Chains A and B, each alone.
Chain A
Amino acid sequence: MDRDGSALIIARARTAARSAGPAVVRAAPVVPIAFLAVFFVWPVVRIVGTGLAPEGTPALGAFVEVLTDPITARVAWFTLWQAVASTVLTVVIALPGAYAFSRLKFRGAGIVSAGVMIPFVLPTVVVASAFLALLGPRSPINDMLALVPGMPDVSVDLRRTVTAILIAHVFFNYAVIVRTVGGLWAHLDPRMEAAARLLGASRWRAFSDVTLPLLRPAIAASAAIVFLFTFTSFGVVLLLGGPQRATIEVEIHRATTQLLDLPMAAALAMLQLTAVVAALAIYGRLARRRTTQSLVATAIGVRRPRTRAERAFLAANLAVIALLLAAPLLVLIERSFATETGWDTDHYRALFTPDASVLSIAPWQAIRNTIVFACGAALIALIVGGIAATAATRPDSRGAQLLDRALMVPLGTSAVTVGFGFLLAFRHPPLDVFEAVWLVPVAQALIATPFVVRTLLPVLRSIDPRLRDAAAVLGATPGQVWREVDLPIVSRAALVAAGFAFAVSAGEFGATVFIARSDWPTMPVAIFRLLGRPGITHFGQAMAMSTLLMAVTAAVIIAIDRVRVGQVGRF
């Protein structure tokens, strides 16, 4: 076939690919747009609107008053810098982990990879309890320091400090970086770095000039998520930072639930929203550079550590996990078994004995609710996020990129704003907050969808468009192209995304608590109920429930990780 002929065919195939099935392909983005409009924009507009225009006419006096208040400025500044510091710290600590766990093969890698997800689902109030034990004067760390000979008699007490907040933020967000960046890293062709090394580049040079630019979209994406999470941090700041410190989120919560000062809450919510949109614009610039690269099966890239330095590097990363992630979790597990006379399963038995527990439902029901809601949320997030991510990879995708940014905004929005917004917006069937149980997974999916998009997009973007063209030339319909080209490559990433979405939803508390009905409590809601009661055994039962939540999460994540998709292998 001559060149002109083939060019013509490709051009025709492209046209066909874009025009064929317009009803499906073109209309697909309507799904995420409608989802966002109905379940996020509308409720938030309702609640913020009520604050800004209580009598129907805008009353901006309170708005100006709040925004010019020096206390607001102080809170906003603290919110910003702690979020930036937390994000930088998380990236710096987790990036080596992303390399170690995506490139080096070692025993127990699967468990570590699933284990890092556990912090995600734990209610802050439970984690705070573990951190207080570890950061206080009677922590095992201080006990160990005391054993070091010649050590001056100092006792580390980080309770109610900013350091405690930052450490807890790294604890919660470590997995975001490790799994998102590691996911892409595992698929980078190691031969590129090897080629650079062969050409005389130092190890560092090869990393900074070859690998880092390729990873940049994933790093920017995951860092953006960490930033949004820490910017709107509520429980960590409230429980670990002590009463002197507040983020904008804490202030919105106080204004809404305690003071019922809706103008103040609305003004703060607008301030928060503006900051989030600005942050997303910066992120957009960082992530704009597209990388088209050939991704490879992980089998090529993953190998056992070879040199002593590599083994030490791996060990160092495992030590970080042991100290930062495993230690607090072990404290919780230990407490769930601790009784006055030693270790026993008393708290677990009490949990499952109706009369000994203040829970109005059997614990297995809370476990089932958690799994059902989180699965539903994961499914919704996969559909909505999958469509949005696919749309964002199309060539003429300015609008889709906007949509992608817009889907991130719920992550950076106050849970109490969304919760109260649901209350105002959804009053009548079929959208009645008190009747429609399915609104719970929908609210959770709002938070989970950005994870799906962020996980899928870097992989989708690195698919060589020529592959799609080739398929189209060979006569594939757009649907077939998607099924035969995109899907096999992204399916592994989709499973990772599903795992994230599940974990985020299972642990979501802030918005769920407003809409979860009493006969449908989730495990975090049950833990919260137990912790609110006097009687030391309730504390033990809360710890037992937390341990069960960890086990359920780990089991689901391991199950998802086990599903191997074709040749792409571990992601």
Chain B
Amino acid sequence: MNTTAPLSRRLALCLALALVTAACGNGDAPSETTDTPADAGSDDLVTIRLVTHDSFNASEDVLAAFTQDTGIGVEVVPLGDAGSLVNQAILRAGDPPGDVLYGIDNTFLSRATDAELFTAYEAEGLDHVDPKFVPDAKHAVTPIDFGDVCINYDREWFADNDLAVPENLDALTEPDYAGLLAVQNPATSSPGLAFLLASVEHFGEDAYLDFWQDLRDNDVLVTNDWSQAYYEEFTLVGGERPLVVSYASSPPAEVYFADPQPDVAPTGVMDRSCFRQIEYAGILAGTEYETEAQQLIDFLLTPTFQEDVPLNMFVFPVTTDAALPDVFAEHAVIPDDPFELDPDTIGAQRDTWIEAWTATVLR
């Protein structure tokens, strides 16, 4: 063996290591700081942490405006889906993962209030909020936005097949609509749970399982998550189901993100199928920055934030003085009388209903 071989090997290895470390070192320096003024480095600036779900989105200048006005920086920390978010916060109760939690909805609220997760606060902008959104007078949480989970239908498919869109939930079990509906598993999906709750409210606790048995006989399709039902099974994108459980805000989303934007949304909403989800924000008990957290809650109810909500998260503002963007005003449906259940009832029965549903539909 000649003596140069080990050297060349060593060089090659060094090169490889250098490659790895260079690529690693590369990114360490930038983006350590975000672009928000909160991280600009001034010492007297307090930064509070907003823990939320993965779907949270806000325009950059909106949170920056809050920082500008109050001198309080906001760091957004997503903690998985809504269920995951609430459960993580409960696990760290007393030693919270942040100062304000945003994104808990009425299907999970009782679990958090039972765990005394929040410090009560009566927000300043509450007088502009429709009282029906406020859960109780204790103000553990503040309503911020709402949305309806509804069956969406493919307009073109129903026109082409000369079939009427089903009027209400009862119609879904008719032979005409066999094999047309895709829903999500309520054990793994938030809209799936909302639709199950809609059926409980419509048919009552005694009869909702009969409805699901009939739906199963009528070849309902169950997927484990929303994107699978919407992007794989819906006829809009080449699937086979012209009816799918989604949101009342999905039609405006289809218009808004299309290029060119159509005059009429390609999908419609069956408004006798909707269940209302209300999202709340609350101050996590144990925070060091209670005053600052209160200011953030107040800010979430200002028109600045409320008007930013629709196009970022595709939900509706809860305040009456927030103007809706054109695409929402034109294409969104706010059902007159959606199904609603009070958070305590949901909290007490949720797991039982899901178990019974699983036994009826899946086994």
Contacts and interface: CB of A to CB of B under 8 A. Distances in A.
A379 B23 CA distance: 11
B91 to A, nearest CB: 6
A491 B14 CA distance: 10
B12 A244 contact: no
A534 interface: yes
Given A243-B185, A243-B362, A533-B314, A369 B83 contact: no
B78 A125 contact: no
Contact of B34 (A519, A531, A538): A519
Interface in A363-407: 365, 368-369, 371-372, 375-376, 378-379, 382
A559 B20 CA distance: 11
Contacts of A520: 31
B362 A536 contact: no
Nearest to B228: A239
A566 B6 contact: yes
A368 B23 CA distance: 9
Contacts of A257: 80-81, 83-84, 87
Contacts of B34: 519
A482 B215 CA distance: 68
Contacts of A63: none
Nearest to A256: B87
A346 B259 contact: yes
A529 interface: yes
Contacts of A372: 23-24, 26-28
Nearest to B311: A358
B348 interface: no
Given A375-B24, A379-B20, A534-B250, A434 B31 contact: no
Interface in B54-79: 54-55, 57, 60, 76-79
Contact of B246 (A368, A488, A534, A559): A534
Given A243-B224, A258-B188, A518-B78, A488 B232 contact: no
Given A129-B232, A243-B185, A518-B76, A566 B12 contact: yes
A531 B97 contact: no
Interface stretch (A7-15, A75-83, A420-428): A420-428
Contact of B13 (A487, A532, A535): A487
| Size band of the interface chain A makes with B | 35 or more
Interface string A235-276: 000110011100000000010111110000000000000000
Nearest to A484: B6
Contact of A529 (B54, B79, B84, B257): B54
Given A125-B227, A238-B188, A536-B236, A491 B222 contact: no
Contacts of B13: 487, 491, 494, 565
Interface string B325-351: 000000000000000000000000001
Contact of B257 (A138, A538, A567): A538
A526 to B, nearest CB: 11
B54 A258 contact: no
A566 B26 contact: no
B6 to A, nearest CB: 6
B142 interface: no
Nearest to A485: B6
A488 B111 CA distance: 59
B23 A371 contact: yes
Contact of A498 (B12, B20, B314): B20
B21 interface: yes
B232 A132 contact: yes
A50 interface: yes
B92 A536 contact: no
Nearest to A568: B9
B21 A379 contact: yes
Nearest to A137: B240
Contacts of B254: 534-536
A210 interface: no
A375 B54 contact: no
Contacts of B84: 257
A138 B232 CA distance: 12
Given A260-B90, A534-B253, A518 B222 contact: no
Contacts of A529: 54-55
A259 B92 contact: no
Contact of B88 (A423, A533, A566): A423
A528 interface: yes
Contacts of B87: 256-257, 260
Nearest to B8: A566
Contact of A491 (B12, B19, B23, B88): B12
A568 B92 CA distance: 52
A371 B225 CA distance: 29
B92 A427 contact: yes
B90 A564 contact: no
Interface in B253-282: 253-254, 256-259
A563 interface: yes
Nearest to A372: B27
Nearest to B7: A566
Q: Please indicate which of the listed interface residues A535, A560, A568 has the most CB atoms of chain B within 10 Å of its own CB.
A: A535
A257 B83 CA distance: 6
A311 interface: no
23 contacts: A129-B228, A137-B240, A138-B238, A238-B224, A257-B80, A257-B81, A260-B90, A358-B312, A372-B26, A372-B28, A375-B23, A420-B91, A423-B97, A424-B91, A434-B98, A487-B13, A488-B10, A495-B16, A514-B88, A537-B257, A539-B231, A566-B9, A566-B12
Given A257-B87, A368-B27, 14 more contacts: A243-B188, A243-B223, A244-B362, A257-B83, A368-B26, A369-B31, A371-B23, A371-B26, A375-B21, A423-B92, A534-B249, A537-B258, A565-B13, A565-B16
Q: Which 7 A-B pairs have the closest CB atoms?
A: A535-B257, A566-B9, A372-B27, A534-B253, A375-B24, A257-B84, A534-B250
